[in-house]
């Protein structure tokens, strides 16, 4: 199940070197969410079928996962976890974080060419230059 979760997470986040320990922690967190966490196994299975089908992966994710009433919200939770290490309330106003380690591993910051607030971005003055990453 973990490898399936990692493969799914890679497709949802466009990140291809996801940490295994983090993946396990996020798998457990998302499995525990209400009301959609119970559908995690089915979600991973649907994604495996998409991978095996040989068609356009993103189009099928869109159709069979993102637009599904149970699988869509669950997939979005997975995206939020990897990007922020947190799960948002329905209105996005309250975010529930996990551990500090997860917070510092959040992917969103590298996506915007920055770093998790609280971690150093590099040497003194690096902010003067366009980012390397």
71: nearest Cα among 91, 42, 92, 28: 42
Interface with another protein includes 103 (CB under 8 A)?
A: yes
In whole angstroms, give the CA distance from residue 52 to residue 47: 9
Interface with another protein includes 35 (CB under 8 A)?
A: no
Placement of tokens 């996005």 in the chain: 92
Q: How many other β-carbons are positioned within 10 Å of the β-carbon of residue 67?
A: 10
Interface with another protein includes 8 (CB under 8 A)?
A: no
The nearest distance, CB 1 to another protein, in angstroms, is 21
The nearest distance, CB 75 to another protein, in angstroms, is 7
The nearest distance, CB 99 to another protein, in angstroms, is 7
Interface with another protein includes 127 (CB under 8 A)?
A: yes
In whole angstroms, give the CA distance from residue 61 to residue 67: 8
Placement of tokens 């992966």 in the chain: 57
The nearest distance, CB 38 to another protein, in angstroms, is 21
Interface with another protein includes 56 (CB under 8 A)?
A: no
Q: Which of residues 58-77 bind another protein (CB under 8 A)?
A: 58, 61-62, 66-67, 75-76
In whole angstroms, give the CA distance from residue 25 to residue 22: 5
């Amino acid at each position: 199940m973990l490898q399936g979760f990692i493969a799914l997470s890679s497709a949802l986040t466009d990140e291809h070197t996801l940490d295994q320990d983090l993946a396990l922690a996020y798998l457990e967190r998302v499995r525990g969410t209400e009301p959609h966490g119970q559908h995690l196994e089915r979600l991973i299975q649907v994604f495996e079928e998409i991978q095996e089908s040989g068609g356009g992966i993103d189009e099928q994710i869109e159709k069979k996962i993102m637009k599904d009433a149970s699988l869509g919200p669950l997939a979005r939770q997975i995206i939020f976890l990897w990007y922020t290490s947190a799960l948002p309330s329905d209105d996005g106003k309250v975010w529930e974080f996990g551990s500090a380690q997860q917070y510092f591993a959040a992917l969103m910051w590298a996506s915007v060419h920055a770093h998790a607030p609280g971690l150093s971005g590099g040497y003194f003055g690096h902010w003067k230059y366009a980012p390397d990453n």
